[in-house]
């Protein structure tokens, strides 16, 4: 049933008994054209675009627990394309354009709010770096605007812009088309849309092994049986290395951890997404009123999804230095996700050396904003066998060849990102 105000009203009169299941719960078939391993946002958008753009719907998305339970359900919901490196802003902008029509396209309100993504600059040199980023974006047709301190102060009245602050605000670079979205809704919306096109979404189905015949991947062994496939698409950020190892591959990826936390909900206080050139914290306010905060990663490999508290202390200190009136708000929840750290900070969307096996991973902590773009590009690769030009730079072998795409220029070690 189509989602609409009219149907909501009609069902309201009837006790909401008519809404069908958002996605079916089918038994896995014995064979698919394409098996996508990983039911997060990226895996689900991949399946959707395979079916909707390429007419390939003999597709299964295999999720070891519940869809969207990985990083799609753990991020801080920021959407933007304000990257300095042209390969990256091209990728994120392709994604941002898909965000702009998403709710209508999939008939599910993902609450994409283009309220602006602002990078603060705290010095002349910060402002020069921001101007450079803005110039690079604008030269490639992406929106970016420099703001003065007064303009920033007007946009975010509770920001400490006094010149005696430890990190005085000098201005910023804003991407007005950036903002936030409701992360769970993206997973659910794409699951429903893909399901309607015939894709099988199979939860509680963990891949335990990849079957190979003569060096070619032919299927997966799962907790719900053996499933054959012409193409197998890995899409499990955080566990890319584990799954790839089932086919004997070592990846340029290390699993780390990123924490985030939210406050108790309050009335509107911060309307823009705040990030900063000099500090590592980021601040926004959800539609429920909770202030969403994050900071540095924990800086060591772990699958525990359990972060250390001193990291939160630092993130809170930086956030409060920027917005002092956050101090009396209370942290309500904290959580962490397992990040797929690549060795240049940029993702990998490519075939692997194993025939029939593909990889989409290495998104570090920047994957959520790329959700629709990632799926679009991965679907293109899977369906046509060729990388889309925007995806082409994100090859698996770029670490061997040296064609790395390193936005902050900090090198291969993930803990330095």
Per CB under 8 A, which of residues 139..198 are in contact with another protein?
A: 139-140, 144-146, 158, 160, 164-167, 173, 182, 184-185, 188-189
Q: Give the Å distances, CA to CA, from 64 to 4, 228, 240.
A: 32, 17, 13
- Binding flag, residue 223, another protein (CB under 8 A): no
Q: Minimum distance from CB of 104 to another protein (Å)?
A: 6
Rounded CA-CA distance 323/169 in Å is 11
* Per-residue exposure over 350-382, b if at least 16 CB sit within 10 Å of its own CB, e if not: bbbebebbbbbbbbbbbbbbbbbbbbbbbbbbb
Name the residue nearer to another protein (CB basis): 65 or 384.
Answer: 65
Name the residue nearer to another protein (CB basis): 135 or 230.
Answer: 135
CB neighbour list of residue 26: distance below 8 Å, 6 or more residues apart: 200, 201, 202
Footprint on residues 88-107 left by another protein (CB under 8 A): 99-101, 103-104, 107
Relative orientation angle of helices 124-139 and 86-99, to the nearest 10 degrees: 70
Name the residue nearer to another protein (CB basis): 189 or 219.
Answer: 189
Footprint on residues 315-354 left by another protein (CB under 8 A): 316-321, 324-335, 343
- Binding flag, residue 87, another protein (CB under 8 A): no
- Binding flag, residue 30, another protein (CB under 8 A): no
Interface mask toward another protein for 255-284; x: CB under 8 A: x-------xxxxxxx--------xx-----
Q: Minimum distance from CB of 375 to another protein (Å)?
A: 19
Member of 31, 73, 97, 153 binding another protein (CB under 8 A): 73
Rounded CA-CA distance 66/411 in Å is 35
Member of 113, 339, 360, 374 binding another protein (CB under 8 A): 113
* Per-residue exposure over 240-255, b if at least 16 CB sit within 10 Å of its own CB, e if not: bbebbebbebebbbbb
Which two structure tokens, joined as six digits, stand for 172?
Answer: 């910023």
- Residue 411, Ramachandran bin (φ over 0: left; ψ between -120 and 50: alpha; else beta): left
Rounded CA-CA distance 50/70 in Å is 22
Stretch that binds another protein, among 31-39, 219-227, 286-294, 360-368 (CB under 8 A): 286-294
Member of 29, 154, 216, 403 binding another protein (CB under 8 A): 403
Q: Minimum distance from CB of 58 to another protein (Å)?
A: 22
Count of residues engaged in binding another protein, rule: CB under 8 A: 136
Rounded CA-CA distance 293/274 in Å is 10
């Amino acid at each position: 049933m189509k989602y609409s105000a009219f149907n909501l009203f009609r069902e309201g009169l009837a006790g909401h008994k008519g809404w069908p299941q958002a996605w079916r719960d089918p038994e896995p078939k014995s064979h698919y054209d394409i098996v996508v391993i990983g039911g997060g946002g990226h895996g689900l958008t991949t399946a959707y675009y395979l079916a909707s753009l390429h007419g390939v719907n003999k597709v299964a998305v295999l999720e070891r627990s519940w869809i969207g339970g990985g990083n799609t359900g753990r991020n801080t919901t920021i959407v933007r394309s304000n990257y300095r490196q042209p390969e990256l802003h091209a990728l994120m902008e392709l994604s941002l354009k898909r965000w702009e029509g998403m709710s209508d396209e999939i008939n599910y309100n993902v609450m994409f709010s283009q309220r602006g993504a602002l990078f603060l600059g705290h010095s002349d040199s910060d402002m020069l770096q921001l101007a450079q980023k803005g110039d690079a974006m604008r030269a490639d047709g992406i929106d970016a605007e420099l703001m003065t301190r007064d303009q920033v102060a007007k946009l975010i009245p509770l920001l400490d812009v006094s010149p005696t602050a430890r990190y005085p605000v000098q201005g910023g670079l804003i991407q007005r088309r950036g903002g936030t979205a409701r992360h769970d809704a993206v997973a659910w919306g794409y699951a429903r849309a893909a399901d309607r096109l015939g894709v099988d979404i199979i939860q509680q189905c963990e891949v335990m092994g990849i079957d190979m015949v003569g060096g070619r991947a032919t299927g997966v062994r799962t907790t719900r049986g053996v499933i054959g496939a012409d193409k197998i698409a890995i899409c499990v950020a955080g566990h890319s290395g584990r799954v790839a190892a089932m086919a004997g591959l070592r990846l340029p990826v290390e699993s780390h951890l990123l924490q985030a936390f939210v406050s108790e909900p309050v009335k509107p206080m911060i309307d823009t997404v705040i990030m900063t050139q000099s500090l590592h914290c980021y601040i926004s306010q959800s539609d429920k009123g909770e202030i969403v905060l994050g900071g540095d990663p924990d800086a060591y490999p772990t699958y525990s999804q359990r972060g250390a508290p001193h990291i939160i202390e630092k993130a809170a200190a930086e956030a409060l230095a920027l917005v002092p009136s956050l101090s009396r708000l209370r942290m309500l929840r904290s959580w962490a996700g397992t990040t797929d750290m690549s060795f240049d900070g940029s993702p990998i969307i490519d075939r692997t050396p194993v025939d029939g096996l593909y990889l989409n991973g290495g998104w570090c902590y920047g994957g959520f904003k790329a959700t629709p773009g990632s799926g679009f590009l991965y679907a293109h690769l899977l369906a046509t066998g060729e990388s889309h030009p925007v995806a082409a730079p994100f090859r698996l072998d770029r670490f061997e060849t040296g064609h790395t795409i390193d936005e902050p220029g900090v090198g291969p070690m993930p803990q330095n990102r």
